[in-house]
Amino acid sequence: MNPDPTPATAPGAGDRTVLVGVSGGIAIYKAVELVRRLAKEGFDPLVVETEAARRFVMPLTFAAVAQSAVLDDDTAWQASGGWFQHIEAARQARVMVVAPATANTLAKMAAGIADNLLTATYLAFRGPVIVAPTMNWAMYEHPATQANLAQLAARGVEVLATERGDLACGEEGSGRMAAPEAIVSAVRRAFARRSAGPLAGRRVVVTAGGTRERIDAVRFIGNLSSGKMGRAVADEAYLRGANVLLVTTKEQDAVPYEVKLVESADEMAAAVTQATGSADVLVMTAAVADFKPRTADQGKIERAERASLTLELVPTVDILSAAARPGLVRVGFAAEAGPRLARARAKKAAKGVDLLVFNDILAAGVGIGSDENEITIIADDGETHVPRAAKRVCAAAIADAVERVLEVRA
Ligand SMILES: Cc1cc2nc3c(=O)[nH]c(=O)nc-3n(C[C@H](O)[C@H](O)[C@H](O)COP(=O)(O)O)c2cc1C
């Protein structure tokens, strides 16, 4: 967010203009997809290209997918409707997103340099700003770039995480631009204007997926958890303005917030312990193994010459209980085989959590692996039943309950 969040002119209720600043990075091909998706979702993308960006992709391409004229440094010198282009563009837009955001453009934004239409418009804009950095890993990790990103974040600009992987320069590392879908989620959140509730600005740690407990180098004890419920809770917290960390055993696509991939209960416990030191909320949606093999064979256990195989299992760490500390809102899940609400209530008391979400894994069409769930949220002051519904709807009810706890504590 730029320092003064009040738009220069109040936009109409139907105003869906998104200013898309495009600078000269090789990930610009993803910006074409971003603009197409924004238009498809009913936003009005207004594209501003830098001179370097124009060398990669001609304005005609963006104009075709945005179905509107593209602004660049040539058009900047033409008056429009009595306003200069940078002021007019800043007045029209509700949200600004810079994707790809080059090291150069980020540096200019951090320093307040306004020597092209994109950066001048940024300075003139009052509203939520999102940047999607992308560059070679060494450029990204350079202290100058990191300082610029920190500076922008401190001013309220939402800096989307880069992805690790193969880079266009032929090297591997951090620096790939966030996926267009993740950027659209960030834009949606900025438009939702729901970032003023109790979850706004809170650090929320969500766990998801089933853990894998190694038996040997290739085998494990696991469970059927898909991680979808946790992803839905993390998405909902993000939409409400939270600073989210998703600790999960499942690879995630198109996530606008931080993700930490783990495998076993021990790894998840370590990630949660580290993250909850400074967190406000912990939602333990993950299906963590209750037991793990006492030892894991470093090689591969062979079948030959064995009549049977006995594994000795020992309990895993109780992550939810271990994370308890004053000020941390803890949410547990009780997946019970049957309508055992009384057991869930007892579990809430035993673990001393703020909220316990009960679901019956044997109920038809809901729960593990499914896109739907049916839950009962047990709080200190009562219970909320959410009849069979999309996990997104259940996640919203859980977020409502967390917000109530935060409000009571405030
Ligand atoms: C082929 C090519 C690819 C480039 N890719 C990137 C990139 O991914 N990220 C980046 O920060 N700069 C990249 N650059 C460098 C920028 O284009 C250069 O710094 C330029 O001045 C950026 O201008 P702008 O920020 O006004 O668009 C690339 C340059 C070339 C020639």
Residue 147 has pLDDT above 50, yes or no: yes
Start-to-end CA span in the chain (Å) = 25
Query: Residue 368, SS3?
Result: coil
Which of 26, 62, 98, 121 to mutate to test ligand 1, by most ligand atoms within 8 A of the CB atom? 26
Q: Report pLDDT for 81.
A: 59
Query: Confidence class of residue 344 from pLDDT cuts 50, 70 and 90?
Result: very high
Among protein residues, the one whose CA lies closest to atom 22 of ligand 1 = 24
Among protein residues, the one whose CA lies closest to atom 17 of ligand 1 = 24
Q: Report pLDDT for 361.
A: 84
Query: Confidence class of residue 42 from pLDDT cuts 50, 70 and 90?
Result: very high
Nearest by Cα to 250 from 222, 276, 290: 222
Query: Confidence class of residue 80 from pLDDT cuts 50, 70 and 90?
Result: low
Q: Report pLDDT for 4.
A: 37
CA of 24 to the centre of ligand 1 (A): 5
**Strands 158-159 and 129-133, how do they pair?**
parallel
Q: Please report the sign of the dihedral spanned by the C-alpha atoms of residue 361, residue 364, residue 368, residue 372.
A: negative
Q: Report pLDDT for 367.
A: 67
Residue 170 has pLDDT above 90, yes or no: no
Residue pLDDT, tens place only, 277-319: 999 999 999 999 999 999 999 999 998 888 999 999 999 999 9
The atom of ligand 1 lying closest to the CA of 52 is 27
Which of 49, 62, 104 to mutate to test ligand 1, by most ligand atoms within 8 A of the CB atom? 104
CA of 27 to the centre of ligand 1 (A): 10
Answer with the residue of higher pLDDT: 339 or 245.
245
Q: DSSP state, 289? A: -
Residue pLDDT, tens place only, 176-196: 999 999 999 999 988 876 557
Query: Can you read off the two tokens belonging to residue 305?
Result: 């010459």
Query: Confidence class of residue 6 from pLDDT cuts 50, 70 and 90?
Result: very low
Q: Report pLDDT for 1.
A: 47
User: Residues with catalytic annotation?
Assistant: 169
CA of 25 to the centre of ligand 1 (A): 4
Nearest by Cα to 244 from 195, 303, 301: 195
Phi, psi (degrees; rounded to nearest 5) at 301: -65, 125
CA of 109 to the centre of ligand 1 (A): 15
114 lines ligand 1 (CB under 6 A): no
23 lines ligand 1 (CB under 6 A): yes
Considering the chain, what is the average pLDDT of its residues?
90
> Mean pLDDT, to the nearest integer, of 18-42?
96
> Mean pLDDT, to the nearest integer, of 13-29?
89
Residue 2 has pLDDT above 90, yes or no: no
Residue 10 has pLDDT above 70, yes or no: no
Residue pLDDT, tens place only, 93-115: 999 999 999 999 999 999 999 99
Query: Can you read off the two tokens belonging to residue 375?
Result: 């839950």
103 lines ligand 1 (CB under 6 A): yes
Query: Confidence class of residue 259 from pLDDT cuts 50, 70 and 90?
Result: very high
All residues at 6 or more sequence positions from 321 whose CB lies less than 8 Å from its CB, including other chains? 351, 352
Query: Confidence class of residue 79 from pLDDT cuts 50, 70 and 90?
Result: low
105 lines ligand 1 (CB under 6 A): yes
Query: Can you read off the two tokens belonging to residue 323?
Result: 């994370």
CA of 135 to the centre of ligand 1 (A): 8
133 lines ligand 1 (CB under 6 A): no
Residue 9 has pLDDT above 70, yes or no: no
Q: Report pLDDT for 244.
A: 95
Where would I find the H helices in 193-243?
228-239
- Name the pTM for this structure: 0.77
Residue pLDDT, tens place only, 193-235: 655 789 988 999 999 999 999 999 999 999 999 999 999 999 9
24 lines ligand 1 (CB under 6 A): yes
All residues at 6 or more sequence positions from 175 whose CB lies less than 8 Å from its CB, including other chains? 133, 134, 135, 136, 137, 139, 140, 162, 167
Q: Report pLDDT for 120.
A: 93
Nearest by Cα to 222 from 276, 265, 284, 160: 265
Query: Can you read off the two tokens belonging to residue 398?
Result: 């859980």
CA of 149 to the centre of ligand 1 (A): 17
Q: Report pLDDT for 77.
A: 74
Integer Cα distance of 196 and 270 in angstroms? 31
50 lines ligand 1 (CB under 6 A): yes
Q: What percentage of the chain carries pLDDT values higher than 90?
A: 75
Residue pLDDT, tens place only, 229-240: 999 999 999 999
Domains of the chain: 17-192 (3.40.50.1950), 203-409 (3.40.50.10300)
52 lines ligand 1 (CB under 6 A): yes
104 lines ligand 1 (CB under 6 A): yes
Residue 3 has pLDDT above 50, yes or no: no
Answer with the residue of higher pLDDT: 13 or 87.
87
Query: Can you read off the two tokens belonging to residue 131?
Result: 């940047």
State the residue for tokens 């010459």.
305
> Mean pLDDT, to the nearest integer, of 375-380?
96
Residue pLDDT, tens place only, 121-140: 999 998 899 999 999 999 99
CA of 45 to the centre of ligand 1 (A): 22
Using CA atoms, how far residue 273 sits from 124, 235, 277, 319, in Å, is 42, 22, 7, 8
Among protein residues, the one whose CA lies closest to atom 11 of ligand 1 = 102
119 lines ligand 1 (CB under 6 A): no
Answer with the residue of higher pLDDT: 42 or 6.
42
Residue pLDDT, tens place only, 309-331: 999 999 999 999 999 999 999 99
Among protein residues, the one whose CA lies closest to atom 16 of ligand 1 = 24
Q: What percentage of the chain carries pLDDT values higher than 70?
A: 94
Q: Report pLDDT for 196.
A: 73
